[in-house]
Structure formats: C-alpha cells, structure tokens
Amino acid sequence: MNNISIMGRLTRDPELTTTQGGAEMCKYSVAVDRQKDKNGNKKTDFFGCVAFNQGGAFVSKYFHKGDGIIVHGRMESNKSEKDGRIYWTLVAEKHDFPLSRTVAQAGRDEPEPTAEPAGFTPVETEELPF
C-alpha cells in the first residue's frame, strides 16, 4: 500500500497549469521539519508535490508560499530521460489546513491558555525505550 501524509509549509507559490489533455495540474513544494537530533540540530525534508483537477485548483486558490499545509497522497517515482536519475513526487489526493492560533481562536474572546491542560504530562523522547 502506497500512502503518505505530510504536514509542512509551502516553499513557493503553487504553479497551476493545464495539461495537453485539458486537466488542471498544480505543482508545489513542501518543507517538512524532522525532530531535532541529539545535538539540537534541525533537519528539513523537501517534497515535490503535484495535484490534479479540483485538488490542484484548491491548492492554487487557498495556499501560498509559507502557508502550512497537510497533504495526503501517494509517492510515485519517475526516471529522467535526461540524466537517468530517479525522482520522487508526492501525488496529492487530499489537502487539509493545519490548525493555527488564528484559526483556532477565530470568533473567541477568551485569551490563549498559558498552562498545559489538566492531566497533561510531557514525555521526554530520550526516555522512550525505542
């Protein structure tokens, strides 16, 4: 089964074009941060994504460079005729908006909570046995 879900930020504005067959195609790139390593260094992965028809139109209309995005889809590999290298693309099937303070607080007059919720106990990842 080939399923992938990522959450990150767009690295550039989506590019909406039309294929020769008349389908809308939107290309975009998403930066996804990894967990920091033992030295506290941050690593980032970059995913080239493509969405077709309604999905492509949706991304080009509602997302821009720097926006957070959740992408669900499948990975496809293509071999370049130019240099023989294999390139991977995330073919998007569904998009979601990640919750942000602005979205979560929209229409609410109460202040942002400053303490952890009752019963919340943070877990240090270095203490986990795996």
Q: Among 30, 34, 89, which Cα is nearest to 59's?
A: 30
Place of tokens 């795996």: 130
d(CA 8, CA 67): 8
Could you tell me which residue, 66 or 126, shows the higher pLDDT? 66
104-123: pLDDT as tens digits: 444 444 444 445 454 555 55
- pLDDT per residue as tens digits for the range 47-98: 999 999 999 999 999 999 999 999 999 999 998 888 999 999 999 999 999 8
One-letter identity of residue 125: T
Q: Name residue 88's beta-bridge partners.
A: 77
- What is the reported pTM? 0.71
Q: Give the 3-state DSSP-derived string for the chain, with helices as H, strands as E and coil as C.
A: CCCEEEEEEECCCCEEEECCCCCEEEEEEEEEECCCCCCCCCCEEEEEEEEEHHHHHHHHHHCCCCCEEEEEEEEEEEECCCCCCEEEEEEEEEEECCCCHHHHHCCCCCCCCCCCCCCCCCCCHHHCCC
Domains and CATH numbers, the chain: 4-100 (2.40.50.140)
Q: What is the pLDDT of residue 107?
A: 47
Tokens 């809308």, residue located: 24
- In the prediction, which pLDDT does 5 show? 97
Using 50, 70 and 90 to split pLDDT, how confident is the model at 100?
low
The more confident residue out of 124 and 9 is 9
